[in-house]
Structure 1
Amino acid sequence: MTDTPSPQWGPRPEGSPPPTEGPKKKPRRIFLWVFLAVQALFLIWIIVGVNEAGDDPSCEGLTGEALELCRDAGDVGTAIGVGLVIGLWAAVDIILGITYGIYRLGQRRQP
């Protein structure tokens, strides 16, 4: 009998261990971090927008009902602004989700 190794392209002999491909690479979670960063930016945007709403310089010098009306109008504007930001947030999340889905479809292994 000879000590020549068997070719790697043929069938494995009985009892031989399966070939190892080395350590598997840990999958990178780049999309997860990008998605979380986008969520954090929108959340900060909403928090800052709501907190800045009380500092309306156009209400200075007003008293009584005029001051109350001015503040109420500012609150309505803030609510509309927050609603628009939330709508934009949802649209960006949908776009990110579709983009990730297309990316995953392209990375699938073909049988």
Structure 2
Amino acid sequence: MKNEKVYAMRVASVYPHYVTKAEKKGKTKEDVDEIITWLTGYDEEALQRILESDTDFKTFFEEAPNKNPNRKLIKGVICGMRVEEIEEPLMQEIRYLDKLVDELARGKKKENIFRTEK
């Protein structure tokens, strides 16, 4: 039940918090957008439409045009959970995004945020 509330949250209601978190650490809205497009495959235009609509997180991730396969390389703790151990696929996608925004705000270099196979 708790997760259902998260899934139903509008992306547009959370997005400003991502941007604020990044900007407090000297990053930009464009940096946040770049992370979102890397993770999901949405382009800038599609992301803008989502932010102007009532799109919830469930729909946002289910309809993502090209989820980056390297997102599975995202590891670590966010909100007290290890992202690689989250069993619910949709919650894992949401936490991937949270983790990337957190890394951006902590000053991690983008080439490290955008995981690549080694």
Same fold (TM over 0.5): no
Higher-Rg member (1/2): 1
Q: Indicate the structure whose relative CO is greater, using CA pairs within 8 Å and at least 6 residues apart.
A: 2
